[in-house]
Amino acid sequence: MRLKREVARRVFAKEFNASRFKIGGEVEREPVYLLTPLGLKCNRIFIVGALLEKEETRSEEVLRIRVADPTGSFLGFVGKFDPEARDSLAEIDVPSTVAVTAKAKLLERDEKVTPFIRPESIVATDFETRDYWILETAKATLKRIELMNSENELAKLAKEKYNTKVEEYKEMVILALQKLKEETEISETTEEDFDDSIEEEIMGLNDIY
């Protein structure tokens, strides 16, 4: 049987960054997954957010990036082994809105565990795509929150490992959605303002002729 492609999960930065444990990878060729505090098992994720940093690291061959969503930011490294992501990253300005498909990883050093991403592809995108991502990620997160009270094995494992405070994440989702609401409302009013100013402009022209 052919190897199944890993699904790119939707997760907010805050939940992702609180991840400390891996599962899988024990048998040969079995992929390694991150386990988040809400019981999401992910090997690949899809993010749409603001590219805030793109810096060379000491090793020069590796770029360090930071992509922010309404809840926090994802730390990422793009190396020479990801030529597609590296090439496209070169053409993207900071800050801009980007869509990233990435492998989810954990950096374990000196008893400190840091989650990060390794982008496979990164492209400049628009606010519409970002808004939809926030919406979709909010839904996926709420679904996981709901499962935390069930007999779901991953949920039980997450509770045991993290002692997750579910309320905290529920607030995170609500905040993200409220921000999104404010934002769309702002952009709608500016559009109206824009129409108004065009109207004034036209009136002005009429005065001249």
Binding site for another protein (CB under 8 A): 1, 4-5, 7-10, 46, 48, 88, 98-101, 120-121, 123-125, 129, 131-133, 135-136, 138-140, 142, 147, 150-155, 170, 173-174, 177-178, 180-181, 184-185, 188
Question: Would you say 50 or 177 has its CB closer to another protein?
Answer: 177
In whole angstroms, the minimum distance from the beta carbon of 205 to another protein comes to 33
In whole angstroms, the minimum distance from the beta carbon of 139 to another protein comes to 7
Question: Would you say 181 or 202 has its CB closer to another protein?
Answer: 181
Residue found by looking up tokens 């991150």 in the block: 34
Question: Would you say 150 or 197 has its CB closer to another protein?
Answer: 150
Torsion sign, CA atoms 189, 194, 195, 199: positive
Strands 44-56 and 8-9: parallel
Question: Would you say 23 or 142 has its CB closer to another protein?
Answer: 142
Give first-to-last CA distance, the chain, whole Å. 76
User: Is the CB of residue 95 less than 8 Å from the CB of residue 51?
Assistant: yes
In whole angstroms, the minimum distance from the beta carbon of 24 to another protein comes to 13
Question: Would you say 62 or 177 has its CB closer to another protein?
Answer: 177
Question: Would you say 80 or 139 has its CB closer to another protein?
Answer: 139
Q: Is residue 185 classed as helix, strand or coil in its secondary structure?
A: helix
Strands 72-78 and 44-56: unpaired
In whole angstroms, the minimum distance from the beta carbon of 201 to another protein comes to 29
Give Cα 102 to chain centroid, integer Å. 10
Do you know the residue count of the chain?
209
In whole angstroms, the minimum distance from the beta carbon of 141 to another protein comes to 10
Strands 112-124 and 32-35: unpaired
In whole angstroms, the minimum distance from the beta carbon of 5 to another protein comes to 5
Strand partners, 76: 65, 117
